[in-house]
Amino acid sequence: MASLTVSMKPSVPLLLGIAEYENSSFNLSDRYILNQIQCVRNKFLFFFSIFFTAVTSIELIFPMPLILFCLGADVAGTIVLTYALVLVFGTQLLKRFLWRPRPWMLDDTIIVWKRDKTSSFPSRGVVCSVVFCFLLSDVTHWDHPIWLTLLVAFVSISTSFSRLYLGAHFLSDVVSGLFIGFLLVLLSRHFVDSWWSFLGCDILTSPGTCYGSGTILHLIVSKLVSLIVAIVVLWCLTLVLTCRPLIFWSKSALSFGLMFPPLLFRILFLCNPGQNDKDALGFVLESNWLLSCIGVVGPLLLWAAGWYVCKNGRAQRNIFYYTILFVSSCFLLGICSLQRVST
């Protein structure tokens, strides 16, 4: 057994280590359960675990708000955007400032699929398994509590098993992930119900009331100052979060570059706090097949390229990667907004 926690802990500021009770009954039972789950090894369980690890990856939600707003699905886009922002900040705040070593860092006998060097607490995959199920229910208005409960139970338990089987987390990490997942769902639903209404946007409750008769060009000109200020603020925020000493997340450039443009688009171009018809875009009455294809394929290409570059590129260039993704996402939103009609 190897104790590698000191050498594996990232040398970044403001990182608090969760007490490692090496010889406590709690920690020993945590390891015992992990070892028992890893006793049975076969291809079915391996691919089963890989599948649920993939479908509960947080990266999957990054391009979704951009795609939905490009397609004109403003209600769904608003809900997904809210969930995505809460999920990203809610999980990464814990991952960034609380450190717990991965199982393989404490015990070299643990069978591990991928040697992630991020904090083990909490299991973000398990958090996503809960959040994704409720998000799907809210977007589709699937009002079947019993079936939703069964879906959440199946996906979350399967994901929990997968993370343990692959040696990525301890049992306490996945259990914590379940509770945090439900908490983030409650927060997301609260923000969906209150935050957008506070801004004066009624798309969620009264479809049609937030739309206006202005064109995208007219709105850009009329809200130029607000747009420039918002872009600068978000750029500075991303700069602070991606550079030392904070270094909030290695995926900040990818996530923010794809999600901040839909946030600006939603607030500046779809919201109409003053009830002035010329201060909001119209809705998509009839989709144009070419623009719809661009609205789906474009964000996915940006997402794939951004994922590759942010993973293999230099961390010092994250703000540059963010800028490219942000500008490209804004361009896609502008192009796809040409299919919006005046009301």
pLDDT tens digits for range 212-269: 766 777 778 888 898 999 999 999 999 999 888 888 898 999 999 999 999 999 888 8
User: Considering the chain, what is the average pLDDT of its residues?
Assistant: 85
pLDDT for 56: 96
Last residue of a domain, one of 170, 198, 226: 198
Q: Which two tokens stand for residue 56?
A: 């509960």
**108 pLDDT above the threshold of 80:** no
* Whether residues 215 and 189 fall in one domain: no
Last residue of a domain, one of 173, 198, 223: 198
Could you tell me if residue 315 is inside a domain?
yes
Could you tell me if residue 24 is inside a domain?
no
Higher pLDDT, 74 or 326: 326
**Cis status of the peptide bond prior to 122, with omega within 30 of 0:** yes
Could you tell me if residue 27 is inside a domain?
no
Nearest residue to 95 (alpha-carbon basis) of 153, 176, 41? 176
Domain count across the chain: 2
Three-state secondary structure call for residue 234: helix
Q: Which two tokens stand for residue 22?
A: 């090496």
* Whether residues 180 and 262 fall in one domain: no
Q: Which two tokens stand for residue 266?
A: 């939603």
Could you tell me if residue 4 is inside a domain?
no
pLDDT for 29: 77
Determine phi and psi for 71, rounding to 5 degrees. Answer: -85, -10
AA identity, residue 302: L
* Whether residues 155 and 217 fall in one domain: no
Could you tell me if residue 98 is inside a domain?
yes
**148 pLDDT above the threshold of 50:** yes
pLDDT for 8: 63
Determine phi and psi for 216, rounding to 5 degrees. Answer: -60, -40
* Whether residues 284 and 160 fall in one domain: no
* Whether residues 54 and 191 fall in one domain: yes
pLDDT for 132: 97
* Whether residues 176 and 268 fall in one domain: no
* Whether residues 179 and 253 fall in one domain: no
* Whether residues 216 and 341 fall in one domain: yes
* Whether residues 256 and 233 fall in one domain: yes
> For residue 1, what pLDDT band results from cuts at 50, 70 and 90?
very low
DSSP 45-107: HHHHHHHHHHHT-GGGGTTHHHHHHHHT-HHHHHHHHHHHHHHHHHHHHHHHHEE---HHHH-
pLDDT for 257: 97
Q: pTM, whole model, 2 decimals? A: 0.90
Question: 16: part of which helix (H) or strand (E)?
Answer: strand 16-17
* Whether residues 222 and 336 fall in one domain: yes
Could you tell me if residue 19 is inside a domain?
no
pLDDT (tens digit per residue) in 181-223: 999 999 999 998 887 776 666 666 665 666 776 677 777 888 8
Last residue of a domain, one of 169, 198, 227: 198
* Whether residues 218 and 191 fall in one domain: no
Three-state secondary structure call for residue 192: helix
Angstrom distance (rounded) from CA 118 to CA 121 = 9
Task: Specify the residue for token string 């393989």.
Answer: 104
* Whether residues 143 and 254 fall in one domain: no
pLDDT for 326: 98
Task: Specify the residue for token string 């908490």.
Answer: 183
Could you tell me if residue 238 is inside a domain?
yes
> For residue 142, what pLDDT band results from cuts at 50, 70 and 90?
confident
pLDDT for 94: 93
pLDDT for 111: 74
User: What is the domain range of residue 239?
Assistant: 209-343
pLDDT (tens digit per residue) in 291-338: 999 999 999 999 999 999 988 877 778 999 999 999 999 999 999 988
